[in-house]
Amino acid sequence: MPHGQRGRRQGQFLEVTPGGEVSSTVRRRVAVHGHVQAVGFRASCYRRASEAGLGGWVRNTRDGDVEAVFEGPISAVDELVTWCRQGPSWARVESIEVTDEEPRGETTFGIR
């Protein structure tokens, strides 16, 4: 695939970097269940995702959970998904659900 050309493979977007390497972008939605509100989960998640250069968002849900969407390189997204299994020190994560989505091209991360 020539430089700058984008293609798709199994729910991922592929892009050739200037060095000729293929980079894949994924998007994953994560629902985090447990004692995860009022413990700094969103702020910690925002900081980690921003530092990793991910797109997406994080928010509290009405039922007391936290929901986040991470979009970017697969290794960085997987690292944030793994972090969500524990969260910040005050959180008590009981379980998480992870759903793959089609990438939308988000490049900034926010708190909703």
Residues 86 and 33: their CA atoms lie apart, in Å, by 11
Catalytic-role residue among 29, 42, 62, 92: 42
- 104 catalytic per annotation: no
Is the domain defined by 25-111 classed in CATH 3.90.1150.10?
no
* Two tokens, residue 90: 């005050």
- The position carrying tokens 């007391």 is 64
Catalytic-role residue among 29, 60, 104, 112: 60
Structural domain spans, the chain: 25-111
* Two tokens, residue 81: 């998904």
Computed on alpha carbons and rounded to an integer, the radius of gyration of the chain in Å comes to: 15
- 60 catalytic per annotation: yes
Span 71-84, pLDDT tens digits: 999 999 999 999 99
Q: pTM of the full predicted structure?
A: 0.80
Q: How far is CA 112 from the centre of its chain?
A: 14
Span 8-30, pLDDT tens digits: 444 455 555 555 555 589 999 99
